[in-house]
Structure 1
């Protein structure tokens, strides 16, 4: 008889009102670091206990250390870096236009996020506040930028998050090895404007060196680090003109090389790599097919590969795994419930989705998950119901298999 299908999620979980208020007070200067740490620790205890109660096999801190002050927030996974690295600031569009570093000749130049081809193709829907999709209302008034030497300054913050999660795991009766903390990939971090380094590739390598310190802190504590890397798939849509596939792959290979350099010496069993096409709610008409980059994703020094597999744009891609050989020591973490719909998946559907992957690569090499983070994207009541459907579906699939 096969072992039960394990379950997890991608990382971000709904923030509590107490945590939102604490982050806002800390940002305003009315709550000190110790006060914020106390709230983060207490809320991490509660969120780990709830995950364990639902029956999730591999849990995390809900990304509660990545500050959010609003219930809806698509960018906390990315902007948390501004609390942990030197050399960053926000600048005006005028400053950006005047001082951005050049891209080397013959290399792809990553355009600003406001130029997504999907946003252009469906501009009428994106600009309509009644459309029900995440809106792209033109350029932001300020732009996050690298304007100085990058260095990791988040030692105390990551130590706080690690201590909160390890303590919560102990209280929930789960070993440290079943806990993970998310950290941004060098390529995702480097999508902000580069106004300091010689060129974009130099900025990617600088990010890799700086981020290595966070990766090491998490894994040396016995936890797994999840590399949040939507850049591999999502960056395709950020070029004003669709690039040649071979150029895009070359662009991505450099960035994976930098990530593997940052992960050097870290046991791949303690690393999972998350690929997605962006968490915003919209048509995603210009998403790149997973088949074009799956080999690149598998080249990362990570045992686990997490990816979107439940949404309407990518669910059909499970068939890739009928023809793609999964390297020894690696396992899949497919999304089987989604973040882009408020519809609650039926456990039988969840089981069907799990079975497809289990039959393709073996049930012992599948960990059922969510497409992307649920926190900040769907209402908390719906998010937790989706996680319950996930564990229920995994139980059904385990019996069938």
Structure 2
């Protein structure tokens, strides 16, 4: 990044209506024409990559078109998970404001997904969906003329957060088993020529969700374990090929219980990934640049602030996008900043606060804002 600010995003994009219908039916175990589903996924990936290139995104993704959710899709690739009923942790900020929580529930704005539960040994048993994703993204890049891409995979910690354990004797053993299976996916993504993005909301959102009954100090002790397990699974992947997304939850809400970035930043920076995608646009984390500025950031670490909010249909002005980018270039220099989004636009299939047409408008503003910032920096 020696001539301008490059652009990317966190991964998921709104899925077309026909794909949503089929992928949700498939996840529920209903009869679906598998050939037609594969065709619709392929068409959707090609369209997503083509539009990203047309908008001007530098590092594209497949939009996670084939995945029902960014962590729960794994039950279709791994053994050990079955659908069941288990208590779900709710964010502490929603618990604290029951009137707002009830409004969200009535509006249908809360996430609804089948609950995979670990009830048998975990192993990566079906590589075909992974290999299909990799080949489809390659073909879509070739067709659209894209030169650089990434593919998402969840951290072991976020898998454990969404998919409770009823088989392994303790959480640490469960995490080790998840990590061992995920290594298959991590290694394959990079071997295919893509950058690997680790989605790790467990290091942010996990504090006020699964670990909301702990103190900050107790949570950070658990987070150390989560990073250690992740790094072990990444042991054969070069640091510069890994990017990690730190997130406090992609939902509109008070977020008054979000752990401060300065409390987790040191741990995040010690993890193996060389590029950190962080929230920097929404009202709760727009000031996080100050927390990052207070850190000792390794010389080979790239910051990718989210300069677009993924929970609102307001389209950010390019000049505001540029201002947000410049705050981060002031911290690490112009050569070590990319411009990204706070989170994905389709974290779970069919769920997201931003409509498809405005998701693309927001990404256009991201590209325009990066150009404005570049003009000031070069």
TM-score bracket, normalised by the shorter chain, equals over 0.9
Match of 2:157 among 158, 174, 187: 187
With over 3 angstroms needed to count, the CA separation of the structure-2 counterparts of 1:395 and 1:252, relative to structure 1, is same
**Cα drift, residue 141 of structure 1:** 10
Match of 2:31 among 16, 29, 32: 29
With over 3 angstroms needed to count, the CA separation of the structure-2 counterparts of 1:128 and 1:384, relative to structure 1, is same
How far apart are the structure 2 equivalents of 1:50 and 1:158?
23
Say whether residues 1:202 and 2:182 are aligned partners: no
Match of 1:86 among 67, 79, 103: 79
Q: Is the 8 A contact 1:339 1:371 kept in 2?
A: yes
Matches within 5 A, 1:156-195: 156-175=128-147, 178-191=148-161, 192-195=163-166
Match of 1:333 among 292, 304, 307: 304
Say whether residues 1:151 and 2:123 are aligned partners: yes
How far apart are the structure 1 equivalents of 2:252 and 2:364?
22
Give the TM-score taking structure 1 as reference length: 0.87
Aligned to 1:392: 368
* Paired positions, count: 369
Match of 1:113 among 69, 89, 102: 89
Query: CA RMSD for the aligned pairs?
Result: 2.1
Q: Is the 8 A contact 2:187 2:236 kept in 1?
A: no
How far apart are the structure 2 equivalents of 1:131 and 1:292?
35
Aligned to 2:320: 349
- CA-to-aligned-CA distance 1:164-196 (integer Å, 9 cap, x gap): 101111122223xx1111011100001222111
Aligned to 2:219: 248
**Cα drift, residue 131 of structure 1:** 8.4
How far apart are the structure 2 equivalents of 1:133 and 1:141?
12
5+ residue gaps, structure 1: 68-75, 97-111
Q: Is the 8 A contact 2:190 2:241 kept in 1?
A: yes
With over 3 angstroms needed to count, the CA separation of the structure-2 counterparts of 1:381 and 1:142, relative to structure 1, is closer
Give the TM-score taking structure 2 as reference length: 0.92
5+ residue gaps, structure 2: none
**Cα drift, residue 83 of structure 1:** 1.1
How far apart are the structure 2 equivalents of 1:382 and 1:141?
24
Q: Is the 8 A contact 1:134 1:282 kept in 2?
A: no
How far apart are the structure 1 equivalents of 2:204 and 2:215?
14
**Cα drift, residue 240 of structure 1:** 7.4
With over 3 angstroms needed to count, the CA separation of the structure-2 counterparts of 1:225 and 1:371, relative to structure 1, is same
How far apart are the structure 2 equivalents of 1:179 and 1:340?
24
**Cα drift, residue 125 of structure 1:** 1.1
Aligned to 2:3: 3
